[in-house]
Amino acid sequence: MKNINENQPQLLPSPSYVCEESLLLNNLKLLKHVQDEADVSILLALKGFSMKSTFDLCRQYLKGCCASGLNEALLAYEEFRGEVHTYSPAFKPNEFPKITEISNHIVFNSFAQLDLYRNDVKQHNSLGLRINPEYSSVEVDLYNPCGVYSRLGITKEEFLNGVEKYPNSLSLISGFHFHALCEQNFDILEAVFTKFEENFGQYFKNLKWLNFGGGHHITRKDYDIIGLIEFLKGIRAKYPHLKIYLEPGEAVGWQTGYLESTVLDIVHNGINIAILDASAECHMPDTLAMPYKAQIRDASQDPTEKTYMYRFGGNTCLAGDIIGDYSFDAPLKVGDKIIFEDMIHYTMVKTTTFNGVNLPSIVIKRTNGNYENVTNFGYDDFKRRI
């Protein structure tokens, strides 16, 4: 690790993901406030934020991690050292023994998977089933876990079929898990739970826990924190024997840092096109998949608002590696720094080395203002992935 004085940000490697510790701390404190006031447990969803260099801080506020397979579970077990909750759409036979060793909760996506592994689980494993509540207001199909023909979770009809096909299977189950949200407020959680309770509430008396999954935008400024706490308190009062879990990922890393890049060249083909050392395809894939438009510091997302318009493209050979069109008050030049805001969650976890492009370095801006260069990447990282 290399430390860089707060007065020398120009020495940061480019491109870099820069996580600001003070902003992360604010999010963690808010999540712990919800956790304590509502008497629930909040886990870090590693699929959205798995920056292990922050785990020493995160574990002071959160109870543990939820993982989507063996590697995330190992990261949680080795680096976070809290509770480990592991779910997968389908577990692999060669990985499941290790998962049983290191997981506190194991959540199955089907009765068939539960039946397949029922004799392999350990005494310390608390088993659950993922339920599809068949309610969701997520508009983008790519991110809708309860969309039509979703493979994630058990619908009411399939649940009843499973109980009939696999007798005594429910005797193995300690909890239900559902995940139906994506960047949404408390009111959607309330509506989802109403549907979930209507379809599956009759089974709650025999359970020990419920997991409300992720997608809760708790740290967003307009989130109804008071409403969420009161809602969770109501559930705890109604079902005092049930422990309640939430597992946000994006809410942990939400607006806690940025991706800093550099203008490598400016070409003209009807419009000015700035080529960066950051890539949409490699470093911010949601700008292509969602699609959504990243916010750039000191720029307008409206390419016509300010005097100088530029299209930003990545330094790969993919024609569609386009970040978007923006406008500035002053012309850009080679060497200028371009800062993409809110690029900590769902970024590092999705990067690729396509075209041999290096992954961005990972940097923490500590609360004292100094920068800590945690990780750099190069040829060996590309070579090992081929």
Which superfamily, per CATH, for 39-253? Alanine racemase (3.20.20.10)
Domain boundaries, the chain: 2-17+257-343+351-384, 39-253
What distances in angstroms separate CA 291 from CA 36, 52, 86, 253, 348, one per listed residue? Answer: 36, 28, 29, 20, 18
pLDDT by 10s per residue, the chain, length 386: 567 776 677 789 999 999 999 999 999 999 999 999 999 999 999 999 999 999 999 999 999 999 999 999 999 999 999 999 999 999 999 999 999 999 999 999 999 999 999 999 999 999 999 999 998 788 788 888 888 999 999 999 999 999 999 999 999 999 999 999 888 888 999 999 999 999 999 999 999 999 999 999 999 999 999 999 999 999 999 999 999 999 999 999 999 999 999 999 999 999 999 999 999 999 999 899 887 899 999 999 999 999 999 999 999 999 999 999 999 999 999 999 999 999 999 999 999 999 999 999 999 999 999 999 999 999 999 999 88
Both tokens of 382, joined, read 């590309």
- Say what the pLDDT of residue 232 is: 97
- Say what the pLDDT of residue 202 is: 97
Both tokens of 213, joined, read 């999954």
Q: What DSSP state is assigned to residue 224?
A: -
- Say what the pLDDT of residue 129 is: 98
Our CA angle for 138, 144, 145, nearest 5°, is 130
Give the separation between CA 218 and CA 35, rounded to whole angstroms. Answer: 11
- pTM equals 0.95
Tell me the backbone φ, ψ of residue 251, rounded to 5 degrees: -65, -25
From start to end of the chain, where are the E strands? 2-4, 16-20, 41-45, 64-67, 83-87, 105-108, 126-131, 175-178, 209-211, 243-246, 257-268, 272-276, 308-313, 322-328, 337-341, 361-365, 371-375
CB 283 within 8 A of CB 347: yes
β-bridge pairing 257-268 and 337-341: antiparallel
Look at the alpha carbons of 114, 117, 118, 120 in this order and tell me if their dihedral is positive or negative.
Answer: negative
Q: Report residue 164 CA to chain centroid gap.
A: 35
- Say what the pLDDT of residue 1 is: 52
Query: What is the CATH topology of the domain spanning 2-17+257-343+351-384?
Result: Lyase, Ornithine Decarboxylase; Chain A, domain 1 (2.40.37)
CB within 8 A of 90, min separation 6: which ones?
109, 110, 113
